[in-house]
Amino acid sequence: MATRRKRRAVGAVALVVALTTVASLLAVGGAGAGSQSPFALPRAETLYVSGKQWGPYTNFNPLRPDYNTGTVGLVYETLFRYDPLKDKFIPWLATDGKWVGKTFKVTLRKGVAWNDGKPLTAADVKFTFQTGKLAGSQYSTMWKTGLSSVTTKGNVVSFNFSGTPNYQEWDFNLYSIPIVPRHIWSQYSATEITTGNTDDTSKQVGTGPFTYAAGAGGSQTLQYNRRSNWWATKALGERMPMKYFVDIHNTSNVASLQNFLQSKIDLSNNFFPGIDKQIGGKIVTYYKKAPYMLAANTAWLVPNTTKAPLSDRAFRRALAMSINIDRIVTADYGNIVSKANPTGLLPTWSKWIDKPQAAKLGFKYNVAGAKALLAANGYKDSDNDGYVENKNGSDINLRIIVPNGWSDWMTAIQIIADSTKAAGIKLTPAYPDFNGLVDERNSGKFDLVINNEKQIGNTPYTYYDYLFHLPIADSQTFANFSRFTQAGAAPWALTLKVNKLKSSNVVAAKKVHSQIQKYILEYLPAIPLWYNGMWAQYNTSVWTNFPTATGKGLQNTPSTWNGYLNMTGVDALANLKRNN
Amino acid sequence: MTRYLARKITIYLLTFYVAVTIDWAIPRLMPGDPVDGLIARLHADSTASQELHGFFTESFELDQPLWKQYLNFWWGLLHGDLGPSIAYVGSSVSELIWAALPYTLALLIPAIVLSYLAGNRVGAMAARRKVLDNTVLPVAYVLTATPYVFLALLLAYFVAFQWELLPVSGAYDFSVQPAWNAEFARSFLSHWILPFLSLFLVSFGGWAIGMRNLIIYELEADYANYLQALGAPNRLVRKYAYSNAVLPQMTGLALALGVIVGGALVTEIVYGYPGVGSLLLTAIQNRDYFLLQGIFLFIIIGVLVANFVVDLLYVVVDPRTRTGLQGQQ
């Protein structure tokens, strides 16, 4: 009797286990049901990418810059694209765009259709840009700085400005704002448009080369299927070679590296420490030699210029001179990054850099020089502890911070602290977690922080804005983390001037650029360290013809990060070939 | 019986109230403003970010006084609304948790139940046979002393990375999407084995040791000797010993649940398993108050319910509890 009861109990428990497993499978299985793809995608027709998505695939809203991988570029498209390597705007949904007085006239491409069959119209463009007026919109700036109305006539859209337009910002909008279909989006509420997820996937109606296929929320991948009648095939002869595009949600760089080396990922936009040792054979990068990757942004050492001694520009200069950046490049990064220009401007902006001025005024690594500069400005080591003291004799011990877990940066600040020691500047590395760091940085409580928030783009204006933006608020959320005001309002005035100059006005623009750069070089509102890479490594087992520096027509941005597909990332995908 | 239940339920409700209040308070004690982090990640254009700060603070009701936030929280809770996620703006906490929960349960329930059954069985056997005792016991000691993360890392390194027998991360292959077909089931199972094993093995060790010691203790008890003296067959003696030894183990199960749940969370992170543990990590990293609250709430409810079930089972399994109850009435 007892044994039977026990057996029954064991049986019941086994049943519970089996049921929960089945129920879980059911619940998980339900999430992606309804897709029309084969059960398992054929490897030879699928491109696997990773490196962009770190959270669940929740945001299908192209008007929110933190959208899921490919939302802009693969599904929704922009009027223009921008090629940072050739500094050229590529007509995309628009065939032409030009300034007529204070009006920017865009001619829309004919024959472009949404993937539900309806044609793209000027009304769609007007509707999209007008969403910038809604509360919570992330494209609201243009409506507050000159854009006064959008009018349409046939397939021409006119953007009318009052006052001198902010040309530089406007150019950025042209290749950043994705056009959404009015016939669908007009049904959304204002909050849905600005901050909603717009995650009814049946309404993912775009003009791009792919359509949404599967994956949402916690799924590990997001799958797109190639669209059969993409406009660019007919108009420009551009065609996607892969039938399926699968983005892999990152869990850790280590796991991604494993999958990449096992050929489960074709294009990885992850940061892989030590990847320099793997390059060769089937693992390929943009450059064959160091720095292997294109530059995506500048890593700056941001000092808090409201605190002594960092408020003293001579001290900042001595600090900059005492940092052995080459050691960070070789020891920390294995040469996959390169040292930044002393202006901090990216290599793609080289035409705007006043090189003789940068050579003359830029800081160089020079410990003896740093020591001499410190001594000349009254920073002396009077208690013989190996470190200089403040002018009033108090100890200097500056806290230098990076987010916890950003291992390359954590190593970098150790190297920095170690190298400034030689000049007698005491730095103490610390690693608060990301939000804690943002809090310190925004509120001005920090001493020194490394930051690289401003990405490659069409104009160094974004960098000048980043360094000099005024006025200073209690919380500095996006720019001028150094709280730099020591040069008065002049550099900010010049920055605004750059924004109001057309890029085609090269001579006038160069002069202003040069003046602003002089402030960067002389005042060091932030110290440019190195160029962080546009991390991209290719496993060529299944696909080849990835972007490289030397391949014919392959000079494209090899990235699936947000904002890069609408540079030349789309071309990079279209150029791929199957490896036979 | 009713009084016993009523007392238990009151205690559970009190515990629930205290736990939930702590759950609400803890995320808010962390340094850093969640909205700042959100905006830093959004990369909105310059001027817009300043406005967005106010917009989001208001929409998350973080501009309200703390006491009001606390009341809002209970109000939402009683209406089944766990609030919006900050890390994943636009998603609700409930939908994020529901999406992750099946994965965690698929790991957790089989791991708890199977390790308990197998551990007790093997422990009982070890108590009776010297050879087994000398082999199983040391292994069990090592297993139970291993932190979940460490075992998970070891398994991942050898089985997945060095020998490439099983996949190293995720819950299914990149080439499939969750759906009802054999392809997905195969993929799901092959990804499930390693995280399951990490959880199973550690708890297995603990149960085996506990059971082995209890059985030895019971077999030396007077009733066992008496039974043997009466000439009862060994099997009968062992059966009685087992029945008595299982009782402390059940209490142990109730106590261990919290630890196992914690273990499941870190194991998920090691294997990049898209369950509640991975979600919790993101929530912490992003100061997502509401998501953190929501996840902890689920853990609190889970552990309390499981304990309650064990309490009820106790009544069924231990005749003494029943007699005690009858005595009270």
What confidence tens digit (pLDDT) does each residue in B257-277 have? 777 777 888 888 888 888 888
Which top CATH class is B98-287?
mainly alpha
Can you read off the two tokens belonging to residue A441? 């940085």
- The answer, yes or no, to whether residue A34 has pLDDT greater than 70, is no
**Which residue does chain A place closest to B192, by CA atoms?**
A21
Closest to B264 measured CA to CA, from B97, B85, B101: B101
Classify each residue of A431-440 as buried b or exposed e, where b means 16 or more C-beta atoms within 10 Å of its C-beta.
Answer: bbbbbbbbbb
Q: Which of A6-20, B9-23, B282-296 has the lowest mean pLDDT?
A: A6-20
The domain that holds A334 is classified in CATH as 3.10.105.10
Q: What percent of chain A has pLDDT over 70?
A: 93
- Which of A304-318, B63-77, B105-119 has the largest mean confidence? A304-318
| CB within 8 Å: A59 and B40 | no
Mean pLDDT for the stretch of residues A458-471: 94
**pLDDT score for A352:** 95
Within a domain: A302? yes
pLDDT confidence band for B325 (50 / 70 / 90): low
Tell me which residue in B40, B109, B160 faces A20 most closely, judged by beta carbons. B109
**pLDDT score for A35:** 43
pLDDT confidence band for A2 (50 / 70 / 90): very low
Q: What percent of chain A has pLDDT over 90?
A: 76
Instruction: Examine the domain organization and report whether A506 and A547 are in the same domain.
Output: no
- The answer to whether residue A144 neighbours chain B at the CB level (below 8 Å) is yes
| pLDDT averaged over every residue in chain A | 91
**pLDDT score for B45:** 58
Tell me which residue in A141, A219, A479 faces B177 most closely, judged by beta carbons. A219
**pLDDT score for A11:** 57
Within a domain: A15? no
Instruction: Examine the domain organization and report whether A396 and A468 are in the same domain.
Output: yes
Structural domain boundaries of chain B? Answer: 98-287
Instruction: Examine the domain organization and report whether A202 and A86 are in the same domain.
Output: yes
pLDDT confidence band for A196 (50 / 70 / 90): confident
| CB within 8 Å: B33 and A435 | yes
**pLDDT score for A369:** 96
- The answer, yes or no, to whether residue A390 has pLDDT greater than 60, is yes
Within a domain: A6? no
**pLDDT score for A447:** 97
Mean pLDDT for the stretch of residues A468-481: 90
**Which residue does chain B place closest to A41, by CA atoms?**
B175
Instruction: Examine the domain organization and report whether A257 and A304 are in the same domain.
Output: no
**pLDDT score for B283:** 85
Please list the alpha-helical segments (H only) found in B43-80: 46-59, 66-78
Provide the greatest CA pair distance for chain A.
Answer: 99
- The whole-angstrom distance between A457's CA and the closest CA on chain B is 13
Q: Residue B56: its chain A contacts at CB < 8 A?
A: 136, 195
What confidence tens digit (pLDDT) does each residue in B197-219 have? 999 998 899 899 999 999 988 88
- The whole-angstrom distance between A398's CA and the closest CA on chain B is 21
| CB within 8 Å: A33 and B180 | yes
Instruction: Examine the domain organization and report whether A155 and A262 are in the same domain.
Output: yes
Instruction: Examine the domain organization and report whether A360 and A241 are in the same domain.
Output: no
C-alpha–C-alpha distance, residues A437 and A443, integer Å: 10
**pLDDT score for A265:** 95
Instruction: Examine the domain organization and report whether A354 and A260 are in the same domain.
Output: no
| pLDDT averaged over every residue in chain B | 84
- Cα dihedral A340, A344, A349, A354, rounded to 10, equals -100
Instruction: Examine the domain organization and report whether A205 and A254 are in the same domain.
Output: yes
Q: Which of A355-364, A466-475, B307-316 has the lowest mean pLDDT?
A: B307-316
Residue A193 structural domain = 45-274+535-578
CB neighbourhood size of B230 (10 A): 9
Instruction: Examine the domain organization and report whether A354 and A488 are in the same domain.
Output: yes
Tally of domains within chain A:
2
Tell me which residue in A43, A46, A197 faces B90 most closely, judged by beta carbons. A197
CA distances from A453 to A300, A413, A438, B55, B218 (A): 9, 17, 12, 22, 66
pTM of this structure: 0.84
Instruction: Examine the domain organization and report whether A360 and A470 are in the same domain.
Output: yes
Side-chain half-sphere exposure of B165, counting CA atoms within 13 A: 9
- The answer, yes or no, to whether residue A6 has pLDDT greater than 60, is no
Please list the alpha-helical segments (H only) found in B220-288: 222-229, 234-270, 276-285
**pLDDT score for B328:** 44
* B207 vs A477 pLDDT, higher one: B207
* B248 vs A317 pLDDT, higher one: A317
* A304 vs A32 pLDDT, higher one: A304
C-alpha–C-alpha distance, residues B24 and B297, integer Å: 9
In chain A the first and final C-alpha atoms are separated, in Å, by 68
User: Mutating which of B43, B59, B174, B287 best tests the A interface, going by the most A Cβ atoms within 10 A?
Assistant: B174
Q: Which of A409-413, A479-483, B34-38 has the lowest mean pLDDT?
A: B34-38
C-alpha–C-alpha distance, residues A541 and A554, integer Å: 18
pLDDT confidence band for B311 (50 / 70 / 90): confident
What confidence tens digit (pLDDT) does each residue in A212-264 have? 999 887 788 999 999 999 999 999 999 999 999 999 988 777 788 888 998 99
CA distances from B182 to A19, A31, A295, B185 (A): 17, 16, 45, 5
Within a domain: A281? no
CB neighbourhood size of B186 (10 A): 15
What confidence tens digit (pLDDT) does each residue in A330-356 have? 999 999 999 999 999 999 999 999 999
Within a domain: A249? yes
CB A32 within 8 A of CB B178: yes
